[in-house]
Amino acid sequence: MSTLFAQKTPKIKKLGLDHHPYLEKLAQIADPPDLLYCMGDIPTERRPTVAIIGSRKPSHYGREVTQQLASNLARRGVVIVSGMALGVDAIAHQAALDAGGTTIAVQANGLHTLNPRSNRLLGERIIQQGGAILSEYEPGIDAMKHMFLARNRLVSGLSDAVIITEAAARSGTLNTAAHGLTQGRDVYAVPGNITSPMSAGCNHLIAQGALPITSVDDFIEQFLPSGDTVSAQTTLPLGTTELETAIIELLASGVRDGDELLQKVDCNAADFNSAMTMLEINGVIKPLGGNRWTLT
C-alpha cells in the first residue's frame, strides 16, 4: 500500500514566530529559532498545549499512564506536543490521534525525512489528522546527537506545561524538563515504584520540586479549570448492550484487570467474553497484555 510520503511529499512551509498567535510563546524563550519548517498545520490561535515525554522503553505502567493522559487531554482540546521518538513520545501522539485530538511532533533533523523511520506512518497520520511536524533545521540536514538536546527546548517552549510520565535516572527526557523549568513552564512528573529504575528519574524530579500527578482527572481539573474545556469530546462511548456499557464505565473508572471486570459486571463468562470481543472489534477497547484492558 502506498503511503502519503510515497505518493507525494507534503509541502514544507516556513513559519516565522513573531506574527503567529500559536508560536508567540516559543518566540519568548531563550535562544528561539529564527524560523520553523513545518509539514501539516498548526492551530491558528493559541490553545492549551502540553508536552508529554518519557522513556523510549516504557514499562506497562508508563505506557498506560501516557495513554490515559494524552487521550483525556486531547479529548478536551489540548494540543499534545512530543518528539515522535520511540516509546512514550509515540504513545502520546498515537493516543491524541485516537482521541480525535491535535498533536505536534518536533524533529531534530530537516523534514526531508522523518525520524525514527519506524514512526513514519505515525508522522503521516499526524499530518492527515490536522496536526504538524516541525523542525528548526532546513530540509537536507540530518540529525546529530547535540541536535536532539537542542530540539528539547522547542518541545517545552511550545507548551504550557511539561509532563514526564516515566524516565530513568539518566534519561535524556530530564533535559527537556530542565528546559521547561528555565522557560517558566510548569513541570509535572508521574511518581512510580521506588524500586523501579524506570521511575527513578520521575521520582527524583518530584523530590527536586516537580509537581506530582497522582490522578489523571485531578491533573486535568487543575490544568483546565471548569469551563475552560476547548473540545466537547468528553462523552464516553456507549455500548450496544447494557453489559458493554457497564464494561466501558468500569474501564473509565480505572478497572483494568479482566477477571475483576468479569466479577464486577456479574455475568457468565461466555456473555462477558462476547461483549469484550465486540468492544474490541468496534475499536472501543484495546488489550494491554496480561488480561488487562483500557479504553481506546
| pLDDT at res. 284 | 85
Q: Going along the chain, which residue ranges are E strands?
A: 13-15, 36-40, 49-53, 79-82, 103-106, 132-135, 161-164, 186-189, 211-212, 285-287, 293-295
Same domain, 218 and 246: no
Q: How far is CA 251 from the centre of its chain?
A: 20
Q: What is the mean pLDDT of each run of 10 residues along the chain (296 residues)?
A: 52 89 92 95 92 96 95 93 97 93 96 94 94 96 92 96 94 90 95 94 95 92 67 56 86 80 90 90 83 81
Q: Going along 136-202, which residue ranges are E strands?
A: 161-164, 186-189
Does residue 38 lie in a domain region?
Answer: yes
Same domain, 19 and 104: yes
Question: What is the span of the domain harbouring residue 261?
Answer: 242-295
Same domain, 200 and 248: no
| pLDDT at res. 234 | 44
Same domain, 121 and 259: no
Same domain, 218 and 175: yes
Q: Domain with 284 in it: what CATH number?
A: 1.10.10.10
> Are residues 13 and 36 in contact, defined by beta-carbon separation less than 8 angstroms?
no
Same domain, 64 and 196: yes
Does residue 137 lie in a domain region?
Answer: yes
Does residue 237 lie in a domain region?
Answer: no
| pLDDT at res. 176 | 94
CA-CA-CA-CA torsion sign (50, 54, 57, 60): negative
| pLDDT at res. 177 | 94
| pLDDT at res. 249 | 81
Shortest CA distance to 239 belongs to which of 277, 201, 193?
A: 277
Domain boundary among 223, 258, 283: 223
Does residue 230 lie in a domain region?
Answer: no
| pLDDT at res. 2 | 38
What is the 8-class DSSP label of residue 286? E
Distance CA 227, CA 248 (A): 25
Domain boundary among 165, 196, 223: 223
Distance CA 54, CA 234 (A): 26
Overall residue count recorded for the chain in this entry: 296
Does residue 181 lie in a domain region?
Answer: yes
SS3 85: coil
Does residue 233 lie in a domain region?
Answer: no
Q: Cis peptide before 116, with omega less than 30 degrees from 0?
A: yes
Give me the long-range contacts of 230-233 (CB less than 8 A, separation at least 24): 230/47, 230/48, 230/76, 230/77, 230/78, 231/74, 231/75, 231/76, 231/77, 231/101, 233/75, 233/76, 233/77, 233/99, 233/100, 233/101
pTM above 0.85, yes or no: no
| pLDDT at res. 233 | 43
Please tell me the total count of domains within the chain: 2
Same domain, 53 and 190: yes
Number of H helices, E strands in the chain: 12, 11
What is the 8-class DSSP label of residue 117? G
